[in-house]
Amino acid sequence: MTPSGTNRRLLIAGWILSGLLFAGQVVAGTPIPANNPMVLLKQADSIKLSDQALFTQILDQLDDVSTQLSPNQLEYLHYLQGWEAGYHGDYETSDELAHELLDHAQDETLRFRAGVLLVNTLSERSRFEEAFQRESRLLAKLPDITDPDARGQALVVAAYLYEEAGQYELAFNYADQVFRESPGSYSCKVDHARLAALYKSGRLDGIDEQLARGIELCNRANDILYSNSIRYYEASLALRRGQSKKAIEMLKSHYAEVKRSKYQQLISQFDALLAQAYLDAGDPGLARQSALAVVAQRARNKSGEPLSVAYKVLYQLEKQQGNLGKALDYHEKYQDANKGYLNAVNARALAYQTVQQQLVANKLQVETLGKQNKILQLQQTLNTKASETSRLYIILLITVLAFIAFWAYRVKRSQLRFMKLARRDGLTGIYNRQHFINEVELQLKYCRKSSREVCLVLLDLDHFKAVNDTYGHATGDQVLKNAVAACQAHLRSSDIFGRLGGEEFGIVLPDCSLQRVVERVELIRRAISTSARRDEQPDLVVSASFGVASTAHTGYEMRDLLVAADDALYRAKRDGRNRVRVSDGVEFFLRSV
């Protein structure tokens, strides 16, 4: 609720009288003197993340006397109001104010900051291609911007944007540039971007100490929002290591701070991680409560990872309690949310590559037009002089044009290659989850028409976290690659193979009977058990559990087939791992090694 005008004026007056502004110059309820609005604006700008309540009250105070503000002060107020609207998810208002400043603001620096704001809100709405296009224009203008705050904001947003697109080296470069230009001013924010890039790129050596330093740095700067964002990665890391109680303690001890920030993205991230941690710790009641908190805010998290995690936790809870109808419903919602999240991840990477290719193509187009103009000029010279030398120049320039056309063709091929890469898992080279699901849905539709049987196999490497913790992530990556190679040795060209996430994989075998599939899966299980590089790690043991489902028993609906295979995989894990289980209750005698 917005405080009354009298309370706002009393608070601002008390704040001014306390010495933070011009002591004794403002009395509650009186208009702001002409020399004070800019001080208030700058103060509001400096606390917009550290003290949201006071920031909002200052904006309301200034809005009440907006007719007394100069044009520059009014534009500054509109910028801060646009920032506030974007922070709370009111993108329509934020866009309107940002575009107004971009088109009409007198101050070049304020126009630049409005552009930075627009890039930030575009990326939050998954409008990545437009965000990268605007960011490229901002970075081109950066040499002309002398204001250190505006430069720092642009570089921080660049670091975040390229980190989200998976361009981690670019993110590190922009982070380093902020540290060089503005040591201290943006250290907390840019360190958060750098730590996010380290975490997401899997560079975890020494990351515990770096996360702790980042939290301490943000606490000293009073940037509670960013310190808790770093704490989210710290808790995520604890959960990945199987330390669910430690993760819960980290999250709950700062949960009230996160709620007070009213920043929905971070609140949902905390709730989703708590839901998974409570589930792992064996507390289904609190796991459900945290997951439902994320779902309650689903309007703001339609394509976000937190919503995907929340639905997956709810699906697992219902399945554990035997509520198969609700479990199926939540599993379908989990698939939709996860697909949306993966679409957003791939869209960021593809948008970056698309914009880079557009820049190259535009440059080639300009060069081509320049060459064409020269050819026309030389042709005119030929008409008047019939110069043999000019003819040679024309031949030379036509050759150059042919080279440019060939280069444009290579650029197009490069674009197609990037689109293909967006469908592949970066580590193993097989289909990623999104493309695997798409291919399976197409295969099921095709086989339904001819009533051909399709089998789905879900496999999960046993105790894979222990492999990473004991031998390191390099060995863990090699184990994943070896397991994939072991599977591919027993797959046909018509089979569909994809990595669903972490150590979980999916295989679809069309036009193959259940009995034959189980025999082939048993061969794969044995091959994985012998896939470890025992010469380098003689004590390393690798095995996998398998769940098999067939359309002969589930029908051709994707979600039904996935739930059935997942249930069979769960039973394989429960029965001791390193074995194959079939979903419909028909079991085959298989020996475990």
Q: What is the pLDDT of residues 562-580, one digit of tens each?
A: 999 999 999 999 999 999 9
DSSP 545: E
Residue 526: how many other CB atoms lie within 10 Å: 17
Contacts of 181 (CB under 8 A, 6+ apart): 148, 151, 152, 155
Give residue 58's identity as a one-letter amino acid code: I
Residues pairing with 582 in the sheet: 548
- The C-alpha atoms of residue 479 and residue 467 are separated, in whole angstroms, by 9
Cα–Cα distance, 396 to 409 (Å, whole number): 20
Length of the chain: 593
Question: What is the model's pLDDT at position 533?
Answer: 56
Q: How far is CA 7 from the centre of its chain?
A: 41
Mean pLDDT of 280-301: 87
Confidence grade of residue 324 (pLDDT, cut at 50, 70, 90) = confident
- What percent of the chain has pLDDT above 90? 36
pLDDT at 448 over 60: yes
Label residue 243 left, alpha or beta by phi (over 0 means left) and psi (-120 to 50 means alpha). Answer: beta
Phi/psi zone of residue 230: left (φ > 0), alpha (ψ -120 to 50 degrees), beta? alpha
Phi-psi region of 93 (alpha: psi -120 to 50; beta: other; left: phi over 0): alpha
Whether pLDDT at 585 is above 70:
no
* DSSP secondary structure of 557-592: -HHHHHHHHHHHHHHHHHTTSSSEEETTS-------
What tokens were used for 351? 């948008």
Q: What's the pLDDT score for residue 589?
A: 37
- How far separated are the first and last CA of the chain, in Å rounded? 65
Asked if 237 contacts 204 with a C-beta cutoff of 8 angstroms, the reply is: yes
**Residue 579 in contact with residue 592, Cβ under 8 Å?**
yes
What pLDDT, on a 0 to 100 scale, did the predictor assign at position 29?
38
From residue 91, alpha-carbon distances to 98, 113, 416, 566 in Å are 10, 16, 33, 39
Q: What is the 3-state secondary structure (H, E, C) of 482-537?
A: HHHHHHHCCCCCCCEEEEEECCEEEEEEECCCHHHHHHHHHHHHHHHHCCCCCCCC
CB 328 within 8 A of CB 560: yes
Selecting from 3.40.50.620, 3.40.50.1100, 2.40.10.10, 3.30.70.270, what CATH number does the domain 433-582 have? Answer: 3.30.70.270
pLDDT, position 350: 63
pLDDT digits (tens, 9 = 90+) for 97-147: 999 999 999 999 999 999 999 988 888 777 878 888 888 888 889 899 988
Q: Which of 24-38, 200-214, 309-323 has the highest mean pLDDT?
A: 309-323
